[in-house]
């Protein structure tokens, strides 16, 4: 099996039984979609594998050591770059703004396009889901999130577009910015 095959199997096991927030959609579909998005920008299997694994540290309680041991330091570093400090001792709604500010600051200062590709894969998958759900649910969509204010989500998703503007030549970035405007206009 290739590195990517191993990453997919690993992510399937890590996210087994998890669902997307507020839905009955199996969680694994999100990292697979993120990986497919990243694959539209690069054929580097380490970057694509990192996209598949991007939520394993944050949401599946897998350790950095385990990722590095199984997939190498570069993949582990890319996964870590997409991992928020959840501040587990505090309510997620209380830490939402600081976590998002940290993400934007990190991406603004990042020179490695691989990090930005993984972030864009994740966020494009998220905004696609938000767009579909917003069409079906309207503003009730925001009730499923820790942050209920759509204006704050708009700020965050627009800031991600600005922080990843180096990827503007890719259709994935163009789709992302178009969907952000559709959801938040």
Q: How many domains are there within the chain?
A: 1
Cα–Cα distance for residue pair 178/185, rounded to 1 Å:
10
132-171: pLDDT as tens digits:
999 999 999 999 898 899 999 999 999 999 999 999 999 9
Domain containing 38: what range? 3-184
Cα–Cα distance for residue pair 14/28, rounded to 1 Å:
9
- For the cut 90, the answer to whether the pLDDT of residue 180 exceeds it is yes
91-123: pLDDT as tens digits:
767 788 999 999 999 999 999 999 999 999 999
CATH of the domain at 16: 1.10.3210.10
Categorize the per-residue pLDDT at 10 as very low, low, confident or very high, splitting at 50, 70 and 90: very high
Catalytic residue numbers, as ranges: 58-59
Task: Provide the 10 A C-beta neighbour count for residue 174.
Answer: 12
Give the torsion sign (CA, 47, 38, 131, 159): positive
Cα–Cα distance for residue pair 49/104, rounded to 1 Å:
22
Categorize the per-residue pLDDT at 178 as very low, low, confident or very high, splitting at 50, 70 and 90: very high
Mean confidence (pLDDT) of the chain: 94
- Token readout for 97 is 């703004």
Cα–Cα distance for residue pair 99/92, rounded to 1 Å:
9
48-87: pLDDT as tens digits:
999 999 999 988 889 999 999 999 999 999 999 998 776 7
Q: Angle 113-137/45-53 helices, nearest 10 degrees?
A: 40
């Amino acid at each position: 099996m290739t590195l990517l095959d191993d990453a997919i199997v690993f992510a399937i096991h890590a996210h087994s039984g998890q669902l997307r927030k507020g839905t009955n959609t199996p969680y694994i579909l999100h990292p697979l979609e993120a990986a497919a998005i990243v694959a539209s920008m690069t054929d580097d299997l380490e970057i694509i594998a990192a996209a598949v694994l991007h939520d394993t540290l944050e949401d599946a309680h897998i350790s950095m050591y385990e990722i590095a041991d199984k997939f190498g330091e570069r993949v582990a570093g890319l996964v870590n770059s997409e991992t928020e400090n959840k501040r587990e001792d505090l309510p997620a709604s209380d830490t939402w703004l600081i976590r998002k500010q940290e993400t934007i600051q990190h991406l603004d200062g990042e020179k490695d396009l691989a990090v930005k590709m993984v972030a864009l894969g994740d966020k494009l998958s998220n905004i696609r889901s938000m767009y579909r759900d917003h069409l079906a649910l309207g503003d009730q969509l925001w009730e499923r999130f820790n942050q209920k204010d759509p204006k704050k989500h708009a700020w965050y998703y627009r800031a991600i577009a600005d922080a990843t503007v180096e990827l503007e030549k890719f259709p994935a970035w163009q789709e992302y910015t178009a969907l952000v405007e559709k959801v938040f206009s």
